[in-house]
Amino acid sequence: MTWEPLLIILLLVTVLVCAVTRAAGTRTAGRILLVLVVVTSAGAAILDYDRSPAIDDLPKMRPTELADEEYRSSSSCQVCHPSQYRSWHASYHRTMTQVATAETVIGDFDNVTLNFRGLGYQLYRGEQGEFMVAMEITDPQTGGTVLEHRPIVMTTGSHHMQVYWFSLGRLESRSLGMLPFVYLVPEKRWIPRHAAFLMPEERNPENVAGRWNATCIRCHTTNPKARAENSSLQPVDSQTTEFGIACEACHGPGHHHLAANANPLDRYRRHLGNGADDSITNPRKLDHHLSSQVCGSCHSVSSIKREEDFLSWHRDGPSYRPGQELADSRHLVRARKPDEPMTQKLLAAYPHTLEDSFWSDGMLRVSGREYTALQDSPCHQHGNISCLSCHEMHSHSREPDSLKSWRDDQLKPGMRSNQACLQCHEELESEKLLTAHTHHPAASSGSLCYNCHMPHTTYGLLKAIRSHQVDSPDVAVSLETGRPNACNQCHLDKSLGWSADALERWYQVPRPALSEEQEQVAASVLWLLKGDAGQRALMAWSYSWGSALEASGDNWQAPFLSVLMEDPYQAVRFIAGRSLHSLPDFARIGYDFLESEEEVGLHQLEVIDTWKKLPVRPGGEAAAAILVDPQGELMWERIKQLHSQRDDRRVNLVE
């Protein structure tokens, strides 16, 4: 809608006022003018609700927010849905992507100097308060360096970490560069980008030009359109209705809904009569498959459906709308179905696609793809469990503290208890039946259903995350895939043999053949010392998990975490350091994961010396599983021997 009708109204008002003034005098004309102003204002408001801002009014150096004929933005929802708007506004979905302003930027830009691969980066505030980066750039002609100043124009993330995007300075394109550093929110510090993700260091180029426009825009905005002119995706004129994940990302385009409810009488008649409103999609009213697919449009391992869709997707945006079958417009990658033609084409172009996201048996290994995990859960395939069984997109609380707690995982009330599973398994509401099933005290973490059936075997955001695929622990599966089972991730001091005995005794799970090492040495120790980078990261996190420390003690993990201080992957070193500092008596250790090899060695010695001075150390026959002899001394030769077998294969977990 344009402003021409409003201009006509204003012109008519002016002419009419002049005529009235001549005929009725100034006083009467003033009264009539007041009425006309009110009417004109109302007309302006009506016209403005459907007005698209002119692109010439928008910044030229970054992607733009622009309403179109379908999508109207969340501001159109606020008047009629204030409660839902309030909780959405408090969520991390809203702040997933934001324009860089003093209110949105979390990182420290107070003349901070950082270094990446020998090149300097200075973060500072400009004369107008804008956020800037001065980057040393290698001059391809001279081999020297030149200093380039670029404005930071957008941010991604606001919960665990924040990523920053700078303008590439090309007036003909809205393409962005990515700062090679991220800011960790809880730790209040900058770290190299590759250290924030489980990836080889060499996979972190300086600015990752165009990544936001080609990739991040897909799920970090609402109604994304890269608007690329060719298959190289350069130049781009990227647009989106709204930065962040807003109302229409889940409910679909709102234009028809606004039009259908423009009349207040019709709106309240429908509301009071509980009449259906098919002008908008409400995921809560969809069946469990379709409602979960709304989440899966972003939270899945997926690709374009057909090769010819590539350019049209980037030019015009995704064709999927909430309420539709996701598989009609998106290829959903299933590691357990690797022979699907589109998956084969994907593997031909990107050979590591499956191993970068899945364990070898097809269970999801990375965060942010939870719908892919849910798809393979029996409770979803044969029952009615959906994303909305546990999560809610809107909190009913009005209290700021409650909203702050809710937005962490957006869980429904009671979902940190067994209530999630009791929705279907009502019989386990009985304490007697519960403990008979779990073989753990009712109040213990071992009787929390999700600790056994959705353990922390997914990696992301520098921590372990629940799998989101309902499953049961099985030592044979751990042997086959390397994926930690729930028993040994909680009982860190117990061997695979110990877990196999318990599972066979309690649940008749067949006991697999185990080596002497697997019978005797704690499984967590084997995964930490011999595992790949993903296994080591999960164990580094587990060594400070409260439930695990309660079950296996907290006075023996530090020496093993010290081994990970020199891990080849910076993310593993970071997690190990964080876990170490959370243990009693080790918070004062000055280790930092970016230290030199010499400094790390000194801190490793400090850890061992501190551990030896603990008033209570493990000892006796049971301590052998954690490689401590009966006198309470570490079996260092055995630890070194196991560590020499570390799995150093390439690991790049794509979150």
147 with 166, same domain: the answer is yes
- 565 and 627 in a single domain? The answer is yes
Tell me which residue range forms the domain holding 628: 472-655
Q: 570 and 648: one domain?
A: yes
Question: How many whole angstroms separate alpha carbon 567 and alpha carbon 577?
Answer: 11
DSSP secondary structure, 89-136, as one string: HTSTTTTSEEE--TTT--S--SSEEEEETTEEEEEEE-TTS-EEEEEE
Q: Does a structural domain hold residue 623?
A: yes
Gap between the Cα atoms of 479 and 606, Å rounded: 35
Segment 520-558, tens digit of pLDDT: 999 999 999 999 999 999 999 999 999 999 999 999 999
Q: Which helix (H) or strand (E) holds 505?
A: helix 496-507
Same domain, 509 and 620: yes
Average pLDDT, rounded, for the chain: 88
Query: Residues 501, 640: one domain?
Result: yes
* Domain co-membership, 644 together with 580: yes
Rounded to an integer, the average pLDDT of 246-253 is 97
- What pLDDT digit, counting tens, does each position of 606-623 carry? 999 999 999 988 888 789
Ramachandran assignment for 304, one of left (phi > 0), alpha (psi -120 to 50 degrees), beta (any other)? beta
Q: Which of 546, 620, 608 is nearest to 583 (CA)?
A: 546
Identify whether 142 is part of a domain.
yes
Residue 258 inside a domain? The answer is yes
440-493 confidence digits (pLDDT tens): 999 999 999 999 999 999 999 999 999 999 999 999 999 999 999 999 999 999
Q: Is residue 311 part of a domain?
A: yes
In angstroms, rounded to a whole number, what is the distance separating the alpha carbons of residues 329 and 312? 12
Q: Per the domain annotation, does 412 fall within a domain?
A: no
In a domain, 382, yes or no: no
Answer yes or no: is 369 within a domain: no
230-241 pLDDT, tens digit per residue, is 767 677 889 999
> Within a domain: residue 400?
no
- Non-local CB neighbours of 423 within 8 Å, separated by 6+ positions: 389
Residues 218 and 86 in one domain: yes
Residues 345, 167: Cα–Cα separation, whole Å:
34
| Nearest residue to 332 via CA among 298, 383, 285 | 298
Q: Please tell me whether residues 554 and 607 are part of one structural domain.
A: yes
Instruction: State the chain's maximal CA–CA distance in angstroms.
Output: 110
Is the pLDDT at 305 greater than 90, yes or no? no
Distance between CA atoms of residues 592 and 438, nearest Å: 40
- Does residue 138 share a domain with residue 30? no
Whether the bond into 53 is cis, omega within 30 of 0: no
In this prediction the pTM is 0.89
Number of H helices, E strands in the chain: 28, 15
Please tell me the total count of domains within the chain. 4
Q: Are residues 85 and 139 in the same domain?
A: no
**Helix pair angle (4-24, 26-48), 10° resolution:** 170
Q: What is the pLDDT of residues 88-100, one digit of tens each?
A: 999 999 999 999 9
pLDDT digits (tens, 9 = 90+) for 189-224: 999 999 999 998 776 666 678 889 888 999 999 999
Whether 527 and 568 share a structural domain: yes
DSSP H stretches of helix in 326-485: 341-349, 370-375, 378-381, 400-406, 419-422, 431-438, 449-453, 475-481
